[in-house]
Amino acid sequence: MVDAILGRLSDAIAAGDRVELRGFGSFTVVEAQARVGRNPRSGAPFSVEAKSKLVFKTGKEMRDRLNPEAEVP
């Protein structure tokens, strides 16, 4: 059952759709621009191709559970 759900989520993300799991967070695909990078060892420049990146943003309920506010007297 879990494999079936993860398969459907993966298919939707691969198609470029936004996937939201209520109370947990959402996954979106963002296009990263091509850019010039640098080799940290030699300092030589090289080109980095444009690519798609998967971005996860936590939902409000999950953020609240991870960062509970202290009660103020």
Which pLDDT tens digit goes with each residue over 16-66?
899 999 989 999 999 999 999 999 999 999 999 999 999 999 998 998 888
Structure tokens at 15: 């198609």
CA torsion sign, 6 to 12 to 16 to 22? negative
pLDDT value of position 70 = 55
- In 3-state terms, what secondary structure has residue 19? strand
Residues in the chain: 73
pLDDT value of position 68 = 84
Q: Any idea where the domains of the chain sit in the sequence?
A: 2-66
**Which residue's entry shows tokens 């799991």?**
21
pLDDT band at 11 (very low <50, low <70, confident <90, very high): very high
pLDDT value of position 52 = 92
Nearest CA to 12 out of 45, 62, 44, 21 is that of 21
pLDDT value of position 73 = 54
Domain 2-66 has CATH 2.60.40.180: no
pTM: 0.68
Distance between first and last Cα of the chain: 47
